[in-house]
Amino acid sequence: MKIGKKTGKLVIPEGACFVSHHLEFYEKHRRDNYSGVLAGINASTSICNYRIGIESRTSQRPINVETMHISCKSDTYQSGHNYGGVITYLYKGKSDWRTANNTHCKPGYIVIQDTDSQNVQRWKGTEPGKVHGAVYRNAFGESVNDAKVVGEGFAILNGKFEIKSGVLNNAQDGYHDEHREMHKLSEHCVGKIVEYWKTAGPSWVKQRNFTVKKLLEDFELESNSECITSEDTNRSCNIM
């Protein structure tokens, strides 16, 4: 999206796909750059195709997430149990990869595991963090210290969705800042998946794939303007 230097009006490249109420929002809140300092990952979303774009703070490649997938390695939710979750976006620079135990992943791969289980408990103390290092090791067969993975961590504690991780959310990977919280966009999407997972019981495996387009349908852009930026390119439509 361009913003006219003299008039301040939106200059929409040919073929750009905007929705009228989004145009009104941009016109009302026009600036040259909305990015600022974001919590956690430097993420964006797109009005055109409803993807989440994760920009590097250095010179690394951007990451695009169009679908989120909940792994069959995830445990079934039980009231009174606590859970740790990991969503991965990039692995050793790859957007399509296999981990040490041959788990096939792409950006948006989610695993949720019972942190009270013996499988996860055995890795506590030997892997970094309180739970996310142990969950990663149990799910993928390798240490997060060796994986060079870009991701975020979350938890379900006493039934409540929590968004902090000292292992993944402020990692020194070029995509995060110093904050321990998830980004608002991924928090919104993963939070909705967690709510589905909690109520689905053992039959949750009937749905494992969730489009970002569907997950972001009720995301309030107007109240989250810090997630938005304007691009001076013909690709348009990206909100950071």
Position 29 scores a pLDDT of 36
Distance from C-alpha of 179 to C-alpha of 165, rounded to nearest angstrom: 9
Query: How many domains does the chain divide into?
Result: 1
Assigned domain for 118 exists: yes
Q: Give the tens place of pLDDT for each residue, 50-97.
A: 788 888 888 788 899 999 999 989 999 999 999 999 999 999 999 999
Q: Give the tens place of pLDDT for each residue, 174-196.
A: 888 888 899 999 999 999 999 99
Assigned domain for 74 exists: yes
The arithmetic mean of pLDDT across residues 93-115, rounded, is: 96
Cα separations in angstroms, 114 against 8, 72, 83, 187, 233: 52, 13, 4, 20, 45
Assigned domain for 19 exists: no
Assigned domain for 200 exists: yes
Higher pLDDT, 72 or 106: 106
Q: Which domain does 185 fall in, by range?
A: 67-215
Assigned domain for 5 exists: no
Strand boundaries in the chain, DSSP class E: 2-3, 10-11, 43-46, 52-54, 63-65, 67-70, 83-91, 97-98, 104-105, 109-114, 149-157, 160-162, 209-211, 238-239
Assigned domain for 16 exists: no
For residue 101, what are the contacts with CB-CB under 8 A and spacing of at least 6?
140, 141, 142
Q: Give the tens place of pLDDT for each residue, 205-227.
A: 578 999 999 999 888 876 665 56
Across 4-8, 31-35, 146-150, which has the greatest mean pLDDT?
A: 146-150
